Structure 1
Amino acid sequence: MAAQADIKEVLERSDSLFKERKLTESFDLLAPYADGSSDDPELLWRVVRMYFRKCKEAQSKDKKEVEQLAKKGFEISKKALALGSGIAKCNQLAGMMLGCYSDTLGRKEKLANSKQMKEHFEKAVELDPKDMAARHVLGRWHFNVASIPSAAGFLFSNVPSSTYQEALTHFEAAEKLNDEGVEFLQNWLLLGKTHLQLKNKPEAKKWLTKVTESGESSPEVLEVKEEAGKLLKKL
């Protein structure tokens, strides 16, 4: 196992590449630790982030691969949280990975795990109020819950509830935390979609236009821009 100084260098380099959206290079640095055997929570939550992104990438390709990635990532996320319950990212990634894993189990299980996901996200925000990503995923939770059809309450017990206004509060908070002016396209897209649900078309158009005018061109970004473009055409 690499020395602690070497681990720190790996984490810093991986984070830098991740921020630059060079995901393959970032994940290659973490590959030697993908088994989750480390007892370093700072390393483990980054490994979980790798599994989460790989899980999302595989969703349209291989259902079995998604299930394997989600299960492994979920197990490591539990270990990371046990070792680093006071670390915001351990809580944030635990919620995200629980959601990814729940997707492989079915709608009933996902609804049952939804409350725990929210608790993880709220704890992450509590531990690091200045983390815009933590605030964003909490907003996404509220948006997704607000989008649950009312009929679900008749089919399942303990269905969570929220509103688009609550989701908007968190997306706006995430945007205010964007001190570096990073193009946070996912947040802009959700701001646009939330305003659409609230019948506020001018604001929806503003945020969706920002997405389409972004100069970024990674595969992930192109998907977001395509969705924003389709929504704009309906306005």
Structure 2
Amino acid sequence: MCTKFTRVLIFIGFVLFPAIIFAQQGENLKERADSLYRNYEENKALQLYEQVIEEDPNNYEALWRASFLNSRVGNRAEDESTKEQHFNKAIELAERALAIDSTDVQSNFVMAVAMGRKALISGAKARVAASRDIKKYADRALEADPDHAGALHVLGRWHFKVANLGWFERAAANTLFGGIPGDASNEKAAEYIEKATEQKEDYILYYLDLAKVYEEMGQEDNARESCKEAISMESKVIGDDELKRECQELIQQL
């Protein structure tokens, strides 16, 4: 015969049990997504992180990782429309991550990446306008973690792109925005990307971008060595083989 106390316990269990199961399922989903992320299975990881966000809209790690993955997946897309959809989503998710923690390295880093990717498929004026914010978020990321390889790479790319702006983009920057902040240079681009390779020695993209900077600086031997280093690395992510082919082509051009 159930006492009143026993009935209360049964009721509480009836109410809480589904919530506990739901929470456990959410944790398992996040763990699976994290495992895929660590193993560079980016498309699958992105799908799971999107499910995590649906169930837990304020899951900070899922937000910034989904933003980063949208930038990477979008960058590999073949058509501009798909690229733009992914990059816009990456910016939206980065904004949500920043709303939760605007001082953390990851939220600022993924915003810099998302805006940088979007800028590459935008017009000259939009690229110039975005360049100010890209540097701002990259700087903030490095304030939080001076050794963050991704942020170092982003800032290196920023210096390279801005230092080699075409006349129209530079004129637009001077006319519309009073110039671009910072004293961009190829030398600083090389410095930042070199630091990125020291932190992440197995990222093929970093070595290809460094080779391009060296080429622009007239340091052909360094450019070749950077490309050879990239070619010798194990391909881990979709697109790495294409980066290696770019390195081979660059070596042939030098």
Judging by fraction of residues, say which structure has more helix: 2
Match of 2:104 among 87, 111, 125: 87
Match of 2:139 among 117, 122, 126: 122
| Structure 2 counterpart of 1:18, one-letter code | Y
Instruction: Return 110-119 or 64-73, whichever deviates more.
Output: 64-73
Instruction: Return 151-160 or 183-192, whichever deviates more.
Output: 151-160
Q: Contact between 2:41 and 2:237, CA under 8 Å: does it hold in 1?
A: no
**CA deviations over 1:102-150 (Å, ceiling 9, x no partner):** 4454221121121111010111111012221221111111111122124
Query: Partners in 2 of 1:136 and 1:228 — Cα distance?
Result: 18
Match of 2:81 among 30, 53, 64: 64
**Structure 1 residues 197, 230: CA separation in 2 closer, same or farther (over 3 Å shift)?**
same
The unaligned stretches of length 5 or more in structure 2 are: 1-18
Instruction: Classify the secondary structure of the residue corresponding to 1:56.
Output: helix
Query: Partners in 1 of 2:34 and 2:113 — Cα distance?
Result: 18
Q: Indicate whether 1:212 and 2:231 are aligned.
A: yes
**CA deviations over 1:71-121 (Å, ceiling 9, x no partner):** 232222112111111211100011111223344542211211211110101
Report deviation, 1:64. Answer: 2.4
What aligned pairs does 1:132-147 form with structure 2 within 5 A after superposition? 132-147=149-164
Query: Partners in 2 of 1:73 and 1:106 — Cα distance?
Result: 19
| Structure 1 counterpart of 2:68, one-letter code | R
Instruction: Return 215-224 or 81-90, whichever deviates more.
Output: 215-224
| Structure 2 counterpart of 1:220, one-letter code | G
Q: Contact between 2:49 and 2:66, CA under 8 Å: does it hold in 1?
A: yes
Q: Work out which of the two has the higher radius of gyration on C-alpha atoms and give 1 or 2.
A: 2
Q: Contact between 1:87 and 1:124, CA under 8 Å: does it hold in 2?
A: yes
Q: Contact between 2:42 and 2:73, CA under 8 Å: does it hold in 1?
A: no
Please give the root-mean-square deviation of Cα atoms over the aligned residues, in Å.
2.5
Query: Partners in 2 of 1:194 and 1:135 — Cα distance?
Result: 14
Query: Partners in 2 of 1:11 and 1:33 — Cα distance?
Result: 6
Report deviation, 1:217. Answer: 6.5
Query: Partners in 1 of 2:56 and 2:124 — Cα distance?
Result: 31
Q: Contact between 2:190 and 2:210, CA under 8 Å: does it hold in 1?
A: yes
What is the TM-score normalised by the length of structure 2?
Answer: 0.80
Query: Partners in 1 of 2:189 and 2:67 — Cα distance?
Result: 25
Match of 1:26 among 40, 45, 65: 45
Report deviation, 1:222. Answer: 1.1
Tell me the percent identity. 24
Match of 1:153 among 146, 170, 185: 170
Query: Partners in 1 of 2:55 and 2:91 — Cα distance?
Result: 11
Report deviation, 1:213. Answer: 2.3
| Structure 2 counterpart of 1:223, one-letter code | E
Q: Contact between 1:143 and 1:164, CA under 8 Å: does it hold in 2?
A: yes
Q: Contact between 2:26 and 2:55, CA under 8 Å: does it hold in 1?
A: no
**Structure 1 residues 141, 13: CA separation in 2 closer, same or farther (over 3 Å shift)?**
farther
Match of 1:193? 212
| Structure 2 counterpart of 1:120, one-letter code | Y
**Structure 1 residues 103, 212: CA separation in 2 closer, same or farther (over 3 Å shift)?**
closer
**Structure 1 residues 176, 101: CA separation in 2 closer, same or farther (over 3 Å shift)?**
closer
